[in-house]
Structure 1
Amino acid sequence: MSTSLSHIREIERVASGAASPRDEPVVQSWLRCLNDYKLDPTIAQEAYIVPGSKLREHREQAEELIRIGRSGLEGLFNQVAEQNYVLLLSDARGVTVDFMGDPTFDNQLRKAGLYLGSEWSESRAGTCAVGACIVSGQPVIIHQDDHFDASHIGLTCTAAPVFDTLGDLTAVLDISQLRSPTAKASQQLALHLVSATARRIELANLMTRTRNDWVLRLARSPEFLDVDPDAAIALDGSGRITGMTHGGFGALARSMNIRGLQTRNFLGLPLSEVFDIDVDDLPNFMRGRPNGERLLRAKSGLVLFASAIAPVVSLRTPAAPEARLPRALRDLSQGDATMERVQTRAAKLATRRIPILIQGETGSGKEYLARAIHDSCGDNGNFVAVNCAAIPEHLIESELFGYAPGAFTGASQKGKRGLIEDADGGTLFLDEIGDMPFTLQSRLLRVLSENEIQPIGALKARPIRLRVVSASHRDLAELVKQGRFREDLYYRLNAATLSLPALRERQDLSWLIDQLRARVEKENHESYRIDTTARAALLAHEWPGNLRELSNVLRVAAALSENGLIDSECLPEHLFSEAIHSLPGEDDALRQALRDCGDNVSALARKLGVNRSTIHRRLKRLN
């Protein structure tokens, strides 16, 4: 019997409830693949590499994580040199955002999916180390035919989770080989190394984010207290826990006989509830005393060695309580009061599967907000965006719902999985929902009310579990009055509404300009500067196209720039003509303004805040 056939039959036996010699994490993952993701073990799928534009998006969102984790990856890669290991750092959605491997094997690694941009989410790749780690939050070895998909059974993959300071899984570190010894025990050292490196990345992240907090490092032995502690916690000025290295502290919590509590349950607790000290004792644990004398006793009686690092700014009095927004939502604005209200409301909604309707002008960032909500919710499924106005009406039903094999003339004999089903376990974002054909609105309503989907031509409906976020620049209530949008669907979609401000109304426009400029820099791998005149024009413009218009203007400006300098020559003329048009009686006013400046074009340009060439062009038109 072939390896693939025996593998398939073993999975079928597990599905029928038969006992299996496999590790429990493997069995549970196989069952999820069959029951939750509806994957077919008889259909081998090649490794999936996300398109370049999607990879850039994932890497942008993980930029700080990549920077913090890079030294940890390099250290681990040096430890396993000559062993043909590949290191993958994936984000919480299973997409590889950083990678280290022998470049002489690039073609083989890319084909196997051990490469930058590969997606190893369980719903797409089946049982794999990254996907299983994302779901379980635990280190895991998926060795050879532990993999669900037969195309991956030559690989051995070992992964460990990386949590942020608040306990949310933010990344997975994976160490893999194309070929390895048959015994799964051969990867125990790899498991130890990858877990230790993940712990170090968590520590580096904590130290980066807690400059205004105390940090208390903890270790079971004094020798590694200051160089490689087992765990660390951050504390505010009143001695309450504000963050921690969750992987390491979880292990210590088990040593302290603390069971049944997630590490995030410690957030907000006073230090004195966990250890026999309070905030005033922390200076006694700072450097200056021998490590062996810095002993700390847990409430359980466990004795640890501790090292305290004082905040950069001393916080001896309790700070006012501050809502901690998830990173994805926090990065949407800086200092705009309207956006801050939207972000706070979105953060509360993100933890619940409540349908959300986002309203705002075209280009105001509705998809950015929807994706941030998805990234903040902790779900492991995909974010699937559907522009209801962009799909031709005769295709939208099959695109959304999929179809069974041979469902209609021209249909694929293999059938097709619809976009709604792709979002199972994650978030379905329906952009421009007001443009959905009326005939399909009733089918969508059934999906939302029954939590099931029936592909075209299928005999049975399939259960699904997803979050629905919809968006429109149109007034849906008015469409309901006009009979163009179902009233029952409208009330189903807008259980909660978030309204985005237009760009011209935002108080953080200068910050947004720099954020989008930085994005263009990453796309082009070049640096750009915006001079004062150009920035003034960007700030003065009304931006009817909102973020989309601003992004396009900056991309064109970058392409036209010389030596990375974006000046007024790089921007559309209409941005500057607005300043001149603001003068009453334009032609006469311009001539008079020039006379007032002693016929000095440079002086007039400075006065109007425009470039000299703009004045010259305008004067030329006036002869």
Structure 2
Amino acid sequence: MAGEREHIREIEQVLSGARSARDDIVVQSWLRCIDTHRLDPARPTEAYIVPDTQLREHREQSERLIAIARSGLETLFKQVAGQNYVLLLADAKGVTVDFLGDPLFMDQLRKAGLYLGSEWSESRTGTCGVGSCIVTGEAMTIHQTDHFDTTHTPLSCTAAPIFDTKGELTAVLDISLLRSPQPKVSQNLALHLVTASARRIELANLMAQMHSEWVLRFSRSPEFLDVDPEAAIALDASGRILGTTRGAALLLAQAGGIDWRLSPSPIGQPISRFLDMDVDDLPNLTRGRPTEERLVFGRNGSALFAHAIEPQPTSGRRAPVEVLPGPIAELSGGDPAMTAVQMRAAKLARTAIPILIHGETGSGKEVLARAIHDSSGRAGPFVAINCAAIPEHLIESELFGHAAGAFTGATAKGRKGLIESADGGTLFLDEIGDMPYALQSRLLRVIAERELVPVGGIAPRPVDIKIISASHHDLRQLVAEGRFREDLFYRLNAAPLTLPPLRERTDFEWLLERLVGERARLAGRPAKLSAAARLALIRHDWPGNIRELVNAVDLAVALCEDETIQPSDLPDFGASRAAPPAPSASLVALRAPSLEEERGALLAVLAATGWNISEAARRLGVDRTTVHRRMKRLRLEAPN
């Protein structure tokens, strides 16, 4: 308490104009907390975790960046392994959309706000690494009592901004400690590492978005030009700048003899405005020449080493899928939300981190879990348990097994349970939200200690299992209602994956064709869709998701004549559920495999609604975030 009073007194002295030994960036943030955000240092506020639905919206909007940044996060996490750091990737609003931390400390991390879904905006939390970085656009360390709110003074947080190709701050990469007895200078290495990781993420993002344009990468040293450049820009065929990393914008301003703080954005300007070169010089800067000879000169006379990368031809295949393990790569046909899930699942497959899959009933949670197991390299079996399907009075002995004579009717030799049967492999706990509360503490011990005790047994048995769980329930809500253990939730939710419902997937026709082919082969008879049947299937909103689609295809394959599925062969969708208004023909085209057709269809709907996103989403039968995501992917912008 004395420490809190001293901290509050120091903030009050700064407010009154007294000199402070704190970094100026901290002092200015404290002043904003009082003058702009109207925060009170005497009223500490606990860390805030946004609701799951809101978190999903933030993650959807950041899905491309999450997929690109994940490799950088994992590399950084390995660099600081064993030092108790946790990594956060927050969006421009301060909400954590991805994180890496030690599963053993999940309870403490969540309480401290170093967790998925935590909001670290300066207006809510006060001076902090993420929030203050968003406001200033500068990398920084906010160490212990640098924090405005006394709730967070045990933490040491080091953050660096991530800018998009247009120069807008799009995310913050933060590396934090729950507590650090060391002085602030001890975090200088962390500041260097997180800044370098943010730079590499910006480079990867520019390369991914601008692969069909000329890219020019820079370094002050020829040795690092090809392996770890400092900055990069993208150029069109006329030599005008299409995009930059943050470092490149600063380099260009310096090379052009311009004060970068007063410089307009270089986007749209010719490269010759800043460097003594034009687009015709780019071929001379490719790998065909020795690195030390690839020099460019700024208008101010400065010299930089440069590496030009030619535009890459557009391919119908998606690069991310080509590097995914086969079982995971086969889960989608290019839907952006599914691609983000696949990329994350592939990264997690060979780790021991527990995975929690969210998704509506029938959306393919077990299929995803099995694909992760098949990509994990684990030699043991995949054991799936539906926690809602086993009678409550049997579930304990089914899961944990029993010792000899443990209860009336028990076998004389005892019996191995399903958990132990998964030893060396993967245990998939489907509908984990329906597990009886009394058994949840026993499962928690299995996850934490990697051992179990059979019913009626005494000696624990070690088990080596990868835990994947799934639920269509909102487990946070079940925790709030006292129906699910909070500590178990944090153990299971170490790495969440969210499957999109079938009605929101843009690869519906790919999935439909694949299912028709597979189910026809299983039935031992050829089958194909008529145009009318295809249209009827596309127009249905699929409340039962992929499971309902599989059943519909199985029925159609069984009933069709002359190898062609007609509408009369399909289920009577209206008999089981009142059908919503039929989507327009534009929605059908939106799900076509051709990007040109999809772009034209979406453009037609947007034009018909006067570019009203809400109305367009209503007509298409999707949510607003899906429309925004498609517009971004198809490069559609509203007219001025």
TM over 0.5: same fold?
yes
1:117 corresponds to: 117
Q: Displacement, 1:289? A: 1.0
- Kindly indicate whether residue 87 of structure 2 is the aligned counterpart of residue 87 of structure 1: yes
| Distance (whole Å) between structure 1 residues aligned to residue 501 and residue 100 of structure 2 | 33
Q: What is the aligned length?
A: 376
Per-residue CA deviations over 1:332-389 (Å, capped at 9, x if unaligned) read 9xxxxxxxxxxxxxxxxxxxxxxxxxxxxxxxxxxxxxxxxxxxxxxxxxxxxxxxxx
2:303 corresponds to: 303
Q: Displacement, 1:52? A: 1.6
CA RMSD of aligned residues (A): 3.4
Cα separation, partners in 2 of 1:121 and 1:603, compared to 1, 3 Å: same
TM-score w.r.t. structure 1 length?
0.55
For 1:235, the aligned partner's letter is: L
| Distance (whole Å) between structure 2 residues aligned to residue 162 and residue 266 of structure 1 | 18
| Distance (whole Å) between structure 2 residues aligned to residue 616 and residue 301 of structure 1 | 74
For 1:87, the aligned partner's letter is: L
SS in 2 for 1:266: coil
Contact 1:134–1:161 (CA under 8 A) maintained in structure 2: yes
| Distance (whole Å) between structure 1 residues aligned to residue 280 and residue 313 of structure 2 | 16
- Kindly indicate whether residue 545 of structure 2 is the aligned counterpart of residue 558 of structure 1: yes
SS in 2 for 1:117: coil
Q: Displacement, 1:17? A: 2.3
Contact 2:275–2:298 (CA under 8 A) maintained in structure 1: yes
Contact 1:218–1:225 (CA under 8 A) maintained in structure 2: yes
Q: Displacement, 1:169? A: 0.9
Cα separation, partners in 2 of 1:15 and 1:285, compared to 1, 3 Å: same
Contact 1:255–1:302 (CA under 8 A) maintained in structure 2: yes
1:48 corresponds to: 48
Q: Displacement, 1:15? A: 1.9
Cα separation, partners in 2 of 1:44 and 1:66, compared to 1, 3 Å: same
Cα separation, partners in 2 of 1:604 and 1:167, compared to 1, 3 Å: same
| Distance (whole Å) between structure 2 residues aligned to residue 109 and residue 527 of structure 1 | 42
- Using the TM superposition, name which of 214-223 and 117-126 deviates more: 117-126
| Distance (whole Å) between structure 1 residues aligned to residue 92 and residue 48 of structure 2 | 16
Aligned counterpart in structure 1 of residue 504 of structure 2, from 497, 512, 516:
516
1:454 corresponds to: none
1:197 corresponds to: 197
Contact 1:218–1:305 (CA under 8 A) maintained in structure 2: yes
Cα separation, partners in 2 of 1:281 and 1:92, compared to 1, 3 Å: same
Cα separation, partners in 2 of 1:16 and 1:568, compared to 1, 3 Å: farther
Q: Displacement, 1:62? A: 1.0
- Kindly indicate whether residue 66 of structure 2 is the aligned counterpart of residue 78 of structure 1: no
Q: Displacement, 1:69? A: 0.3
The percentage of counterpart residues that share the same residue type is 56
1:611 corresponds to: 569
Q: How does 1:99-248 map to 2 (within 5 A)?
A: 99-248=99-248
Q: Displacement, 1:249? A: 3.6
Q: Displacement, 1:604? A: 10
Q: Displacement, 1:247? A: 3.5
Q: Displacement, 1:310? A: 0.6
For 1:202, the aligned partner's letter is: E
For 2:101, the aligned partner's letter is: G
For 1:209, the aligned partner's letter is: Q
Cα separation, partners in 2 of 1:535 and 1:163, compared to 1, 3 Å: farther
Q: Displacement, 1:161? A: 0.5
SS in 2 for 1:25: helix
Q: Displacement, 1:609? A: 2.9
1:270 corresponds to: 270
SS in 2 for 1:198: helix
TM-score w.r.t. structure 2 length?
0.54
1:348 corresponds to: none
- Using the TM superposition, name which of 242-251 and 78-87 deviates more: 242-251
Contact 2:256–2:275 (CA under 8 A) maintained in structure 1: no
Q: How does 1:489-528 map to 2 (within 5 A)?
A: 516-517=504-505
Q: Displacement, 1:24? A: 1.5
1:390 corresponds to: none
Q: Displacement, 1:87? A: 0.7
1:375 corresponds to: none
Cα separation, partners in 2 of 1:56 and 1:255, compared to 1, 3 Å: same
1:537 corresponds to: 536
Per-residue CA deviations over 1:167-219 (Å, capped at 9, x if unaligned) read 11111000111111342111111111111100000000000011221000010
| Distance (whole Å) between structure 2 residues aligned to residue 37 and residue 231 of structure 1 | 35
Unaligned runs of at least 5 residues, structure 1: 315-330, 333-511, 521-525, 542-552, 571-599, 619-623
Unaligned runs of at least 5 residues, structure 2: 315-334, 337-499, 517-528, 577-640
2:488 corresponds to: none
| Distance (whole Å) between structure 2 residues aligned to residue 528 and residue 17 of structure 1 | 70
